Copies of this chain bind each other. A is one copy, B any other.
Amino acid sequence: MTRQEATHTQRIFLNRDRVLRAAVALADAIGIDALSMRRLAQELDVVPMALYKHVANKEELLDGMADTVVGEIDPPAVGSDWQSVVRGRILSARRALLRHPWAARVIESRTGPTPAVLAYLDSMAGSFRDGGLSADLTHHVMHAMGSRLLGFSQELFDTSGPSGPPDPGLAAHYPHIAELAATAAHEGGSTVGGGCDDQFEFEFALDLLLDGFERLRRQGWTSTRKA
């Protein structure tokens, strides 16, 4: 079959990469809950079962989508102190997650780490070790960071959406929360309903942790449990 015939009949062969990239784009467009094998097949002008030649099942599709997003994280910077390297990489991971709002939930739902996640975590562990943290401390530091290593905000609820005017009943039932909300409104400066500055909160928590780790490193901290 010549290229012209292929173009004419619109028979472009599927492959794993095309499936994954279409899945990522579709999830970006319609949300992860609306992404079904059937809907994805429709997007690729193909019958649902055609997908199963390139992906064992939906879980494997989600694995591939997670790895696609993790693959977008920038490589580590060189020639900086370890805190800058780690900080910059995590902020890059956060930007990747913000580009694909469904990605955090998908990564979290994987039962085990995918190859790209393992590679990323290995690289991050290397950055801590290169910065002079012991293997012992690096281990606990990686656990303490947890999903934040991949740019997860770890907030309880997505505050980025439309927050509307503050509920007048809220202050009566939840006085302390109302007080904090008022604080945010004053600080934000811009729109009152806008709520919190997610980027500020993310960096506040990140820097608090990194500073804590550096303090432990300087103290020569080791876990006190028996060997």
Contacts and interface: CB of A to CB of B under 8 A. Distances in A.
Interface in A199-227: 200-201, 204-205, 208-209, 211-213, 216, 223, 225-227
Contacts of A143: 155, 196, 201, 204-205
A23 to B, nearest CB: 21
A174 B176 CA distance: 46
A112 B121 CA distance: 31
Interface stretch (A35-43, A48-56, A182-190): A182-190
Interface in A154-204: 154-158, 173-177, 179-180, 182-184, 186-187, 189, 196-197, 200-201, 204
A147 interface: yes
Interface residues of A, number: 64
A5 interface: no
Contacts of A174: 118-119, 121-122
Question: Across chains A and B, which 6 residue pairs bring their CB atoms closest together, nearest first?
Answer: A125-B176, A144-B205, A122-B174, A143-B201, A146-B154, A139-B180
